[in-house]
Amino acid sequence: MQKILQNLIVFFIILLLTGCYYEGQIGGNTFKPEKKQLNFYSIQGDSEVNEVIADSVARFEADNNDFEVIHELIPNDLYKSRLSVCVATNQMPDVFPTWSGGILKEYINIGGVVNLSKYMDQDNYSSRFNDKALQMVTDESGIWGVPVENMAIALIFYNKSIYKSLNLSEPETYEQLKQNIKVLKDHGYIPFALANRTAWTGSMFYMYIVDRLGGPEIFDNAANRKNGGSFDNKVFVEAGNMVRQLVDMGAFPKGFNWMDEDSGDARNLLYDESVSMLLTGSWFISNIKYENPGFYDKIGCFPFPAITDGKGNPNNTIGSLGDNYYSVAGSCDYTDKAFELITYLIDDTAVQKRIDAGKIPPVKNPDIQDPLIKKILEYINKSPNVQFWYDQYLPPKLSEAHLMLVRQMFGGADPKQAAEKMEEITRQYYNQ
């Protein structure tokens, strides 16, 4: 009994010394219960946009002082594998970015994401967003993500000073583009920057050539197994051959298949003016504004040119009108607050900050003043079809196959064999 009393006395002395008490006040300190937590992933490689995200998180926490947001910034390419592990181990973050497409469909099928329809319908919130952007995360059963980061399409960005010095003009046809490549090579410039280690960058060339040759139906039919479509269609083979021609012309820097996009290997070549052009998403604008603002006035852009006798509309674009969307995990304990956090990422304050950072927020009628960004928005608005990135549209297994085969084609593999292999893998996937 005496020992128990001694232990109790020691316990209360410790409480007095530390100022802790379960309820009320002791030692001048008030007990503060642990805050509820929301785990949040983002993947923007642009530091200025990360500041916008951080500001949105801080404003959410200030208005919800019983919540703490655990925000983790993950590099783009690492994130794809990281999220796969999260799914496999059932440890999904509460709020996370997606690109729509096949991967999001898989999450929907396994109940991994929350149907956000009831939130988007409140006060007609969905009307805030660009219709095309919202369509990319909407199906017959609901809305599965919120368009937040950017309306991004792939364009050819170029150094206007180099073009002017060589008396080059923006090409309207593929043949004119090849002629520009030849002139640039003759004058010691690398025509295109390309960091193709993860292959989605090289895939942009392949996708555009497929579209310009055959129109969007070629990919749609092959990917969705309809109308006799297949990945060994002659259009895919011809697109691969045209990619090989670009490589053989010396259109890209030496070692491009081992260069890393996330590390800036491609755009740094543009910055040092050893390269004239870069085919990339229009998120590149915010990269320049943050990394090299003095270079910004030298940059122009034009769409991927038309291919003579091709069936594709030269106004078609490739990209994503949400880039990124944000979804709420099915395992989230605080769904209402998770959705509220997303709204802070794209409220009026965040929209203006994103515009200042060089983004085109996926809301209706964004107030864009910058001439170059306005030009990009015009390309978006007049595009009859925005083809979603193949590697995001396709289911994960087919996406991996596509990227592997594209990288091999850029490295010298036979385009016909690559197309046949893609079709074989696709047939196996769908048990055809």
- Going residue by residue through the chain, which has 432 residues, state the pLDDT in tens, using 9 for 90 and above: 454 445 444 444 433 433 333 344 444 455 556 899 999 999 987 678 899 999 999 999 999 999 999 999 998 778 878 888 888 888 899 999 988 887 888 888 888 899 999 999 999 999 999 998 999 899 999 999 999 988 999 999 999 999 999 999 999 999 999 999 999 999 999 999 999 999 999 999 999 999 999 999 999 999 999 999 999 999 999 999 999 999 999 999 999 999 999 889 999 999 999 999 999 999 999 889 889 999 999 999 999 999 999 999 999 999 988 878 999 999 999 999 999 999 999 999 999 999 998 899 999 999 999 999 999 999 999 999 999 999 989 998 999 999 999 999 999 999 999 999 999 999 999 998
| CB distance 42 to 71 below 8 Å | yes
User: How many other CB atoms are found less than 10 A from the CB of residue 9?
Assistant: 10
- Tell me the C-alpha distance between 33 and 245, whole Å: 65
Residue with tokens 């003009």: 169
Q: Which helix (H) or strand (E) holds 154?
A: strand 152-159
| Nearest of 357, 361, 356 to residue 377 by alpha carbon | 361
| Nearest of 101, 103, 399 to residue 92 by alpha carbon | 103
- Domains recognised in the chain with CATH numbers: 36-150+323-362 (3.40.190.10), 152-319+389-429 (3.40.190.10)
- Tell me the C-alpha distance between 430 and 118, whole Å: 33
- Tell me the C-alpha distance between 121 and 380, whole Å: 26
How many residues would you count in the chain? 432
- Cis ω for the linkage preceding 316 (within 30 of 0): no
Q: Which pTM value belongs to this model?
A: 0.83
Interacting residues of 152 by C-beta distance below 8 A, sequence separation 6+: 281, 282, 283, 319, 320, 321, 323, 360
